[in-house]
Amino acid sequence: MIERYTRKDAATIINEITIDDPVMYSHPWTVSFTARARPDEELMEYICQEGEKDSAKLQCPAIRDVPKRPGPRGQ
């Protein structure tokens, strides 16, 4: 896997990921994401929420307002 970040201009970053695994794929393939700056918005830190065990401790509205998933067997 090759991951490449390219600054296109002062407000744009392109993230390009190329997967090259001849055992699993017949040819390499690439996916690309474009991130643009939003000067009116705060840049939030990415937080992995696997298991969501700490989401109650987080204070940002985007996390607080996420509906709770039902537990096993409707708990």
Single-letter amino acid, residue 30: T
Q: Does 39 reside within a domain?
A: yes
Cα–Cα distances in Å, from 6 out to 16, 41, 45?
A: 8, 22, 20
Q: Give the domain extent around 31.
A: 2-67
In a domain, 10, yes or no: yes
Token pair 């970040």 in the structure block, residue: 5
Please check whether residue 72 lies inside any domain of the structure: no
Q: Is residue 25 part of a domain?
A: yes
In a domain, residue 73? The reply is no
The DSSP output letter for 61 is H
Domain count for the chain: 1
Asked if residue 42 has pLDDT above 60, the reply is yes
Segment 50-66 shows an average pLDDT of: 58
Confidence of residue 70 (pLDDT cuts 50, 70, 90): low
Q: What is the pLDDT of residue 65?
A: 57
The pLDDT tens digits for 16-40 are: 999 999 998 999 999 999 989 888 8
